[in-house]
């Protein structure tokens, strides 16, 4: 088990071990915003939070996610903003996030503009998830992306969101 925390999980259960790290609402939403919105700075995460995360909660979750090895925090020089990046462990959560989004779109009330990315990920399945993880590795870890044609997964998700917003401009802008 890789962890930045000194305390041990409550049990040896793999689901419990995962839930202890990512099982609270705010941690998942911060990861979602870094992963799918490329929001990598404190102020951007807070200002663009659809759910209205408070600054003290955001600061706490960012600290925890760094300590648990899901985010890294680039040391910012004087007067500069710290940038957060996904780690490989966080990037490997893409399939989990895709399935959570698919479940939420199927079983909970959502809006078209905020569910469309979940639908694109569900429709694309594991192949699309793998492509997106490769893109995230390039963006956050500096890994080369294999050559491809057409738009990136990130571009496809952004275009689907923009199209859903255009159909109903009163939707949330997440």
pLDDT over threshold 90, residue 17: no
* Fold type of domain 14-86: Arc Repressor Mutant, subunit A (1.10.10)
pLDDT of residue 3: 44
Please provide the average confidence, as pLDDT, over all residues in the chain: 88
Rounded to 10 degrees, the C-alpha dihedral 83/58/136/168 comes to -120
pLDDT over threshold 90, residue 1: no
Q: For the chain, give every domain's residue range.
A: 14-86, 92-167
- For residue 125, what are the contacts with CB-CB under 8 A and spacing of at least 6? none
pLDDT of residue 6: 44
pLDDT over threshold 90, residue 141: yes
Nearest alpha carbon to residue 140 among 52, 8, 38: 38
């Amino acid at each position: 088990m890789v962890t930045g925390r000194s305390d041990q999980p409550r049990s040896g259960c793999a689901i419990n071990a995962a839930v202890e790290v990512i099982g609270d609402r705010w941690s998942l939403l911060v990861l979602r915003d870094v992963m799918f919105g490329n929001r990598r700075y404190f102020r951007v995460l807070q200002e663009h939070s659809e759910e209205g995360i408070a600054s003290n909660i955001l600061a706490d979750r960012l600290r925890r996610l760094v300590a648990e090895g899901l985010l890294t925090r680039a040391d910012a020089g004087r007067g500069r903003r710290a940038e957060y990046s996904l780690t490989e462990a966080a990037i490997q959560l893409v399939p989990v996030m895709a399935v959570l989004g698919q479940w939420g779109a199927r079983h909970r009330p959502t809006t078209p503009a905020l569910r469309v990315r979940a639908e694109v990920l569900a429709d694309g399945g594991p192949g699309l998830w793998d492509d997106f993880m490769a893109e995230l590795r390039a963006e956050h870890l500096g890994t080369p992306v294999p050559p491809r044609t057409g738009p990136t997964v990130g571009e496809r998700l952004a275009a689907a969101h923009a199209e859903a917003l255009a159909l109903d401009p009163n939707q949330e802008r997440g």
